[in-house]
Structures are given as C-alpha cells and as structure tokens.
Amino acid sequence: MDSSGFKLIRLTPEYQFTAPFNCGDSDLNDFLVSDAKNYQDELLAVTYLLLDNQNIVAFFSLLNDRISISDVDSNRKWAKYFRDIMPQGKRFKSYPAMKIGRLAVSENYKGLGIGTMIIDYLKQLFISNNRTGCKYITVDAYRQSLSFYEKNGFNYLIESDKANLTRLMYFDLIIMKH
Ligand SMILES: CC(C)(COP(=O)(O)OP(=O)(O)OC[C@H]1O[C@@H](n2cnc3c(N)ncnc32)[C@H](O)[C@@H]1OP(=O)(O)O)[C@@H](O)C(=O)NCCC(=O)NCCS
C-alpha cells in the first residue's frame, strides 16, 4: 500500500472535525467525535488520526496496560508459553503492555491494508522508540475483527471470553525483536 500521501497526527484539543467519519461501527464513530478529546484531557488514552488531506482515513487510541499472570492462569497455552519461552528466566507477577483501546478504518479505505499498516507501525514503534518498557500489545477485539488481529499475529489471552462480544488478545513484541 502506498502511504506516502497520508499524514499521522496526534489529536489535539484544537482539532476541528470537518467531515464525518464512518467505519461502520457507531460506537467507534461516536467515540472519535464525542469522547476522544475528553479521554486525552483525563490522561486516559491518546488518539492518533491518519489523514489523507482533510479526510480521516483511520484513527486509533492507545493507553497503558499490563498482563497479570493471575489473570491468565487458566490459559493452558499461556502456561506452556512460560515453560517453553522463559524456562530459566525471572518471572514477574505482571508484564508491561500497550493497549489499542480503539482502532477504526474508514469504510472508504477498508481492505487496503491500512489496518495492518497501523499495527505494523505500532509494533515497530514500541520496540525501537519506546520510552518505557513494553512487552506486549493488547486489544479487546470486537468479534467481527478477530480474524483481522489473528492475521496480524495476535493470540487469545484467555479462553473464558470465547462467547463474549469482545475477546482479549495479545501480541508479544519480543517476536519482532529477535
Ligand atoms: C478491523 C479493521 C480495523 C481492519 O482494517 P483494514 O484496513 O480494513 O484491514 P486490512 O486491509 O489491513 O486487512 C488485513 C486482513 O484482515 C482481514 N480483515 C480485515 N477486516 C476484517 C474483518 N472485519 N473481518 C475479517 N477479516 C478482516 C482482511 O481481509 C485482510 O486479510 P487478507 O490479508 O487475507 O486479505 C477495519 O475493518 C475496521 O475499522 N472495522 C470496523 C471497526 C472495528 O471492528 N475495529 C476493531 C476494534 S477492536
């Protein structure tokens, strides 16, 4: 995908929404226009906009997170992962993570690889330009976007949310580093 014409900006209090944004999900559309600036004010999440001239191509909101071992005890795959990947290493009660609070691509730009480009950008950003330790990317993925995150290398954190509207997923950044 040619992203040379796009610009990534951080949402500021001064930013004026000139054209409507529609990703096909009204909660996400409303969040951008009604809540994103408040979340920023309250230091709850920072939102970024991908722009094509004045058009909002996509937006995403990021916040800090952690994966606590006690939360994932029930996941057999996770227990195996710890045995296999960190057999001798020091284990912690929790690990630092960055959560993708929201991610949405405009209906006009869907299926062009933009969602994947954003995920790739975040993976690189949190490995090579991270200011604090961050081992995982997490997301509460909407049911309709599970296969998108699977294709982007995310795994399920727990099994007990299988029937829920959203599922907790994670990506281990160490995979990219080695
Ligand atoms: C999910 C979303 C962010 C994906 O963005 P996108 O730019 O359209 O995705 P990409 O073009 O990078 O797609 C990458 C792959 O995921 C697949 N994919 C994308 N969206 C999908 C979806 N909703 N369901 C199933 N597969 C999907 C694509 O088919 C593509 O597969 P391919 O590589 O085999 O062709 C976008 O569809 C969207 O904003 N959806 C509505 C809001 C939403 O659900 N956000 C997620 C909140 S957790």
Question: At 161, which amino acid appears?
Answer: D
- Cβ(25) – ligand 1 distance below 6 Å: yes
- Cβ(104) – ligand 1 distance below 6 Å: yes
- Cβ(72) – ligand 1 distance below 6 Å: no
- Cβ(153) – ligand 1 distance below 6 Å: no
Claim: this prediction has a pTM higher than 0.85: yes
pLDDT at res. 83: 63
Distance of CA 106 to the CA centre of its chain: 16
Q: Can you spell out the DSSP letters for 19-76?
A: S----S-HHHHHIIIIIHHHHHHTTS-EEEEEEETTEEEEEEEEEEEEEEHHHHTT-H
145 CA distance to ligand 1 centroid (A)?
6
Each residue's pLDDT, cut to its tens digit, for the chain (178 residues) gives 557 789 999 999 999 999 899 999 999 999 999 999 999 999 999 999 999 998 999 999 999 999 988 877 666 777 677 666 665 667 788 899 999 999 999 999 999 999 999 999 999 999 998 889 999 999 999 999 999 999 999 999 988 899 999 999 999 999 887 6
Question: Are residues 141 and 169 in contact, defined by beta-carbon separation less than 8 angstroms?
Answer: yes
Which ligand 1 atom lies nearest to the CA of residue 166?
A: 48
The DSSP bridge pattern shows strands 94-105 and 136-142 to be parallel
Residue 150 tokens, joined: 């699977």
Which pLDDT tens digit goes with each residue over 121-146? 999 999 998 889 999 999 999 999 99
- Residue 54: CB atoms within 10 A of its CB come to 8
Question: At 130, which amino acid appears?
Answer: N
The CA–CA distances, whole Å, from 45 to 40, 66, 130, 149, 174 equal: 5, 15, 16, 21, 24
- Cβ(115) – ligand 1 distance below 6 Å: yes
- Choose among 158, 131, 148, 145: nearest CA to 70: 158
